[in-house]
């Protein structure tokens, strides 16, 4: 059951995002309208927790569960792809109020309309795959 630990982490992730209402269209809209601190608080604390954890892992040279050294790869340098891709994703995030994680989680809460969003997302990724070499990266 090598995959079970990932399944369990997924359950935790789904519960946290549902109970914090980060999967709610209203919470995302409220965030982009600067009318609530809720989402900024969630992302901010997640990043602070992450920064502390990653620093601890690097400093103490913590090994992963298999005893291998943990290697955290740097992201490839560029501006165009992050900015253009980021703006496209932001437009979609602002419109349907869900990023890729919440799309799956909302399926679990039983919203049929989310299946159309997921289908659109797969279509988008497929088209990106076809056009990848023609886009500025």
Q: Which of residues 7-36 bind another protein (CB under 8 A)?
A: 7-33, 35-36
Nearest distance from residue 59's CB to another protein, in Å? 14
Q: Tell which one of 59, 60, 61, 65 touches another protein (CB under 8 A).
A: 65
| Cα(106)–Cα(24) distance, integer angstroms | 9
| Cα(31)–Cα(40) distance, integer angstroms | 7
Is residue 134 a contact residue for another protein (CB under 8 A)? no
Q: How many CB atoms lie within 10 A of CB 107?
A: 15
Pick out residues in 97-126 that bind another protein (CB under 8 A): 97-101, 103-114, 116-126
Q: Tell which one of 59, 61, 68, 134 touches another protein (CB under 8 A).
A: 68
Asked if 14 and 108 count as a contact pair (C-beta separation under 8 A), the reply is: yes
Nearest distance from residue 134's CB to another protein, in Å? 11
Nearest distance from residue 61's CB to another protein, in Å? 13
Of the candidates 53, 54, 47, 32, the residue with the CA atom closest to the CA atom of residue 99: 32
| Cα(71)–Cα(73) distance, integer angstroms | 6
């Amino acid at each position: 059951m090598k995959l079970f630990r990932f399944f369990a982490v997924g359950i935790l992730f789904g519960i946290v995002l549902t109970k914090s209402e980060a999967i709610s269209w209203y919470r995302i809209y409220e965030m982009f309208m600067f009318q609530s601190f809720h989402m900024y608080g969630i992302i901010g604390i997640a990043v602070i927790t992450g920064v502390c954890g990653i620093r601890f892992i690097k400093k103490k040279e913590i090994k992963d569960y298999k005893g291998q050294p943990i290697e955290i790869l740097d992201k490839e340098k560029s501006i165009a792809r992050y900015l253009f891709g980021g703006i496209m994703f932001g437009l979609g995030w602002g419109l349907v109020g869900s990023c890729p994680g919440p799309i799956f989680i909302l399926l679990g809460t039983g919203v049929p309309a989310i299946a159309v969003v997921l289908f659109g997302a797969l279509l988008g990724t497929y088209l990106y795959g076809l056009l990848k070499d023609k886009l500025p990266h």
